Amino acid sequence: MKTVYEFDTADNTALKKVVKMIVAVSAVFLIITQSGCSSKTPEPVSKQSFYFDTVCSISVYDMEELSEEGAQAAIDEAFKLCSHYESLLSRTKEGSDIYKINHAGGKPVDCDPETVEVIRKGLSYSEMSGGAFDITIGRVTDLWDFHAEDPKVPSDEELKKAVSTVNWKNVSIEGNTVMISDPETHLDLGGIAKGFIADKVGENLEESGVTSAVISLGGNIVCIGEKPAGKEFKPFRVGIEKPYSEQSEIVGTVDCEDETVVTSGVYQRYFEKDGVRYHHILDPSTGYPAQSDIVGVTLRAPKGRSADCDALATILLIMGEKEGLNAAEKTEGIEAFFITADGRYVSTEGMGFTKE
């Protein structure tokens, strides 16, 4: 496997994050790419880079006209697309559409059509979930820093004030113009943007002639086609991580062909303070980490639905086992796998989970 790591060494913050995250993320990704390989299986052309606050990996196994140069060019083009979307959708990157909206003081902002597309999708899930998932949670997420060396728990007063600004109904869209009625309300597309981008990267690779590949943007994985295995092709095997595993152990796998697999878990980003564990999946109604009997949700769906799975995984985790499983079973094209707080595995009938 040829793997290239790429990040801006001038950005010390990004560099530190890469050092912390590269081992864990790479371990999960290698489980995907190496599983079930025969001795005749060709090595993929792979590259990793850092976007969206996470390590992103792309491995190309096959193309219409396969060559290392062609695969590398396709991957480079895909990562340019990642950079483009980060420049639109990041809430912390000055000059992005979301940054402009959040700092417009309630004035209308003209946005890129794709920014509007993501916001519209986020608003639809905000409405569907009754606000359990809400893209206007930006002021709340600003109070939590899960990457800090010495993270702090926000005060009740700080959270109460931030929660008062959360309301997806404050957002209005006309054409490509976005306006927020409450100047204190801030957007945060972190719960859906990576899925949207994973879908777009998959489309871009296929337009470049890629017929077999794996895209991994943090907890969002897209499998294009099947994996070459000698003279045959076999489904890609995607590992589901064991919660709080220090060495990225897996509890089992799912086989995927032209599908997306998205995981949301309270163990992915958290810190402990005074004996209490605080995770990054926040409840918009309280500002605190969501309370649930589920610690991890993995969804499987046809490729092109990673954005849907991104939002739904968070929603189902917050809903809990009983309501979440019921909702998953009623959602067309979506299969779900839950890891409960007491260590049980629960899934929809078509998930295809294989226990390790």
pLDDT digits (tens, 9 = 90+) for 128-179: 999 999 999 999 999 999 989 999 999 999 999 999 999 999 999 999 999 9
pLDDT tens digits for range 69-101: 999 999 999 999 999 999 999 999 999 999 999
Give CA–CA dist 299/76, Å, rounded.
28
Assign a CATH topology to domain 93-180. T-fold (1.10.3980)
Beta bridge partners of 15: none
Segments of the chain assigned to CATH 1.10.3980.10: 93-180
Interior angle at CA 243, CA 218 and CA 349, nearest 5: 85
Q: SS3 of 62, please?
A: strand
Distance of CA 297 to the CA centre of its chain: 12
Segments of the chain assigned to CATH 3.10.520.10: 2-88+192-355
The Cβ of residue 24 has, within 10 Å, a number of other Cβ atoms equal to: 16
Return the H-helix or E-strand segment holding 240.
strand 236-241
Whole-structure pTM value: 0.88
Beta bridge partners of 137: 186
CATH architecture of 2-88+192-355: Roll (3.10)
- Tokens at 121, concatenated: 């999708």
pLDDT of 36 > 50? The answer is no
pLDDT > 70 in the chain, percent: 88
